[in-house]
Structure formats: C-alpha cells, structure tokens
Amino acid sequence: MTGVDRRTFLIGAAVAGAVSTGTAHAAAPLFEHGVASGDPLPDGVLLWTRVVTSSPVAWEVAADAEFQRVVKRGVTRAAAARDHTVKIEVHHLRPNTRYWYRFRVGDVVSPVGRTKTSGCGSELRLGVVSCANWSVGHFAGYGFLAQQELDAVIHLGDYIYEGYSTELRVPDPAHKCVTLDDYRRRHAQYKTDQHVQAVHAAHPMIATWDDHESADNSSSIGSPSHDPATDGPWGARLAAATQAYFEWMPVREGKLDRIFRFGELATLSMLDLRSYRTDTTILGAAQRDWLINTLTTDPARWQLVGNSVMISPFKIPPLPGQPPSNPDQWDGFPADRELVLRSLGARKNTVFLTGDIHSSWACDVPLNGESVATEYIVTSLTSDNFDELLKVPPRTGSLVLEAQIMALNPHAKFVELDSHGVSTLHVTADEVRMDWHYVADKRDPNSAVARAHSFRTRHNTAHTERVLF
C-alpha cells in the first residue's frame, strides 16, 4: 500500500465523506456500506460495494494485503438503477487461494476486503449463520466469525428482517418493508453495522434467503403477514424484495439454488426454499431434479446442503395453542422430502446445514426408521428464541422442553432452545464437525462469544455424535 493509500484507508469513511460526490447524496460518505465478496469459484469470486458517485469506480485484486502484487484490476460505474451497488466478476484467479481487494473513486479508497477462491484442500472451514434481526440485538457473532480462519461463510437466510419493532435498535424505514425503496433502505441499514461490515470484509459469503428477506413464512404465492388490501399485490412486493436482495448481497444474479465445489472433499448445494414454493412443493420440479441429481451422482466425499428450513421431522410436544408440527418447514412437504431422502440410497455422507428455527440442533435424518443423512441447525444470531418469546429467564423450562422434544423425536440428538450465536463447520475426509459458538449477551455489541457444543458426522455413518472438548 502506498503512503497516500494507507492514509486514506486509515482515516476511512470520515475523510471519504468530506470529499464526497457533489450529487444529491453528497452528505453520505463514500463506501459507507463497506465491501463484500461472495459466491467463490475455483477461478474467481464476486466483489461487491456500494458507492454513490458519477465518477468511475476502480477496483483491484491483489495476492497480498499490501497490494504489492495486484493480479487483476478494472473500472466500472455505479448506477442508480441498481441503487448504486456494484458487482464485479473476477476470473482467472488460482483455486483455494486468498486474495485482497479494494475499490477507489478518485483518491478515496475503500476498506480492504479479504476473500478466497474455492478449491481442493484437505480441509474446509465454513462459518454458518442465520436469523440476524437488527431490532433485537447486536451482531457480535458476525464479529467473531470475522476473526476466524474460514474459507467462506454460509448464510442460511433471514439476513434482514422486513418487519418493524424497536426493542433494541430502531429499523429504517420506520415501518415494515413493502416497496423497493423500503427493502433497499433496510438492506442499507444492515450494511452500516460494524459487525456486518467486518464479516463481509473478512470472508466470501455464500448466501441464500429464507422468508424474512421478503415477508414472514413467504412463498411464491403469498405470506400470512401480507395483506393485499393494505400492502398491494404480493407479486409486486416479492419482486421488490428480490431486486433489493440481488442488488445488496454478494450473490450472482438471478438464482439462489446453485452449487459450490470444494474439490474432491465437498460439494455444497445451496437451496432456495421460497421462490418456487407453492402449497404442494417446497422445491419446485426443476430444483428437486437438480438436487437429487447432485446428491446421487456428484463424486465429492461430502454432500453439504445449505437448507434454510429444517428437513428432519419435528413432532412438537403438546403445548397450548401449538400445532403438532410446523408446516413452514419440510414437514409441510412430505412428498418432496421423501423423494430427496429416498434418492440417497446407500450414500451416507449427506449433511444438511439449516437455519430458521432460532435454536441449536443435531439430528440423524430418518427415513423408514433408518438414518440416511445428518442435519446441523445453527441458532439465530439475534432473533428471539424460546426464553425470549416466553419472556422467562434462560434455561427456565427449556431443559424440560428439550427433553420432551428429544423423547418425541429420537432422531434429534441435541436440542438447545435458548442461546444465540453462530456455528463453524470443519470438513475433513474423516468427518464433518459442527461447533456452536454462543454469544454471552446479544444486546452487547462487544459480547464475548465462546464455543458451547460440538457434534460430528463420521465418514460413511449418517449418524451424529457429540464431540467432547
């Protein structure tokens, strides 16, 4: 880094604001939403930033953090039609290799991001995260992931929440998101968060969405929290949510069901369980065929599936006002589930990685009384879970309920209903291990984060077991 670059970078956004653009948005600093990368390939990665300027936006990728060895560079422009977001497809990089990147407008330089191409190593380390509700907590878990040595971070959805509540932090806009402008503003607000910026700057993200990127329990045909009388047509709202997501997230355009290859070690199939969902299918025919084909023919040792909602059956213990199962998860689509699980046959190295239900689980995934896969569920980063929904202190009644759940669902080997945090996944030829790291206090932006539980699936077993540490 040259002296000028270093000074500009260190002084950061404050200086950037002083030399801003002279447009209607001149008060906003350049690069106030940070930088991000995503969707790593063996030879490339997607870079992202947002910058409100009519000037050219230069970018560069280097093999070192000091930018002594720049390997790619180019110039692009930000456009209002894309809410001034910028995406760069970088190709012809080396596999399984770290790179650093930054953007520049005039002499204002963005924060430096670090990324990594995918590829074949002897191990794979992934962050796993879901359900980051700005209103109810701080994102110390993202900050923890930013400090880890990871190949990528998998986001399983609820990256934003579209609703409006003011429990800890006040969302923008000050109402639930319905229009394109609403969703853009909500995404923009999340990307001002220090921990969101840190995790994006540290690792490439592999993201899919769940419901709250559009509306609660959404599908292609609607959402129970959507009222056409006041919110307008569902199709228009879903299109707005979708456009804002693709503008603001470091994902390739158009399709969230997609594949990532980590050499002979692992293949990751990311699912989109909202866009093609109807009353009768959670996958849609094309995604179902693609998933089954991958799980049955892909040669990698491990088949990882990024799966926004729980695939293991879940019989809910009898509770006042509770239905016996949750039809928003795969339990509501038994035909699709049976087709997928039956296809696994003798293959025992499928591991589902799941979010959505704001609690921590390790499950054997059963079919006709036998385990055919394993499932690891990351808890919510901040979204309310059992103790908060019931407004009781942590571990009050949860221990009893967890025991009831495991008695009714013997394929569930671990259930923890109260804690928030993130997970990391360590993949080797011998095993896939999930570690749950819990935040001590989700209301504290500087909260401690510590490993709390570990489970693993050994090669060719389709069973999960606790790892003591």
Which of 465, 445, 447 shows the shortest CA–CA distance to 455? Answer: 465
CB 354 → Fe ion: shortest distance, Å? 11
Which 246-305 residues touch Fe ion, going by CB under 5 A? none
Question: Closest approach of Cβ 50 to Fe ion, in Å?
Answer: 25
Q: Nearer Cβ to Fe ion, position 158 or 388?
A: 158
- Beta carbon nearer to Fe ion, 67 or 330: 330
Size of site (CB under 5 A) for Fe ion = 3
Shorter beta-carbon distance to Fe ion: residue 8 or 354: 354
Among 383, 385, 423, 454, binds Fe ion (CB under 5 A): 383
How far, in Å, CA of 460 to CA of 297, rounded?
Answer: 16
CB of 383 to Fe ion, least distance (A): 5
Q: Pick the closer one to Fe ion by CB: 129 or 251.
A: 129
Full 3-state SS string of the chain: CCHHHHHHHHHCHHHHHHCCCCCCCCCCCCCCCCEEEEEEECCEEEEEEECCCCCCEEEEEECCCCCCCEEEEEEECCCHHHCCEEEEEECCCCCCCEEEEEEEECCEECCCEEEECCCCCCEEEEEEECCCCHHHCCCHHHHHHHHCCCCEEEECCCCCCCCCCCCCCCCCCCCCCCCHHHHHHHHHHHCCCHHHHHHHHHCEEEECCCCCCCCCCCECCECCCCCHHHHCCHHHHHHHHHHHHHHHCCCCCCCCCEEEEECCCEEEEECCCCCCCCCCCCCCHHHHHHHHHHHHHCCCCEEEEEECCCCCCCCCCCCCCCCCCCCCCHHHCHHHHHHHHHHCCCCCCEEEEECCCCCEEEEEEEECCEEEEEEEECCCCCCCCHHHHHCCCCCCCHHHHHHHHHHHCCCEEEEECCCCEEEEEEEECCEEEEEEEEECCCCCCCCCEEEEEEEEEECCCCCEEECCC
213 binds Fe ion (CB under 5 A): no
| Residue nearer to Fe ion on the CB measure, 37 or 354 | 354
The 10 Å Cβ neighbour count of residue 322 is 10
The site map against Fe ion for 388-407 (x = CB under 5 A) is --------------------
- Closer residue to Fe ion (CB): 93 or 131: 131
Nearer to Fe ion, 103 or 352 (CB): 352
Minimum separation from the CB atom of position 134 to Fe ion (A): 12
Least distance between Fe ion and beta carbon 212 (Å): 6
- Our CB check for Fe ion shows the closer of 90 and 357 to be 357
Minimum distance from residue 362 beta carbon to Fe ion (Å): 19
Cα(457)–Cα(459) distance, rounded to whole angstroms? 7
Identify which range of 14-22, 345-353, 380-388, 394-402 contacts Fe ion by CB under 5 A: 380-388
For Fe ion, the closer CB: 100 or 386: 386
Q: Which of residues 449-468 bind Fe ion (CB under 5 A)?
A: none
For residues 122 to 161, the per-residue mask of contacts with Fe ion, x marking binding by CB under 5 A and - elsewhere, is ---------x--------------------------x---
Tell me how far, at minimum, the Cβ of 306 lies from Fe ion, in Å: 15
Question: Minimum distance between the CB of residue 136 and Fe ion, rounded to whole angstroms?
Answer: 11
Nearer to Fe ion, 151 or 331 (CB): 331
In whole angstroms, the minimum distance from the beta carbon of 236 to Fe ion comes to: 24
Q: Binding string, 65-104, against Fe ion, x = CB under 5 A? A: ----------------------------------------
Rounded to a whole number of angstroms, the minimum distance from the CB of residue 380 to Fe ion is 6
CB 124 within 8 A of CB 432: no
Chain positions contacting Fe ion, by CB under 5 A: 131, 158, 383
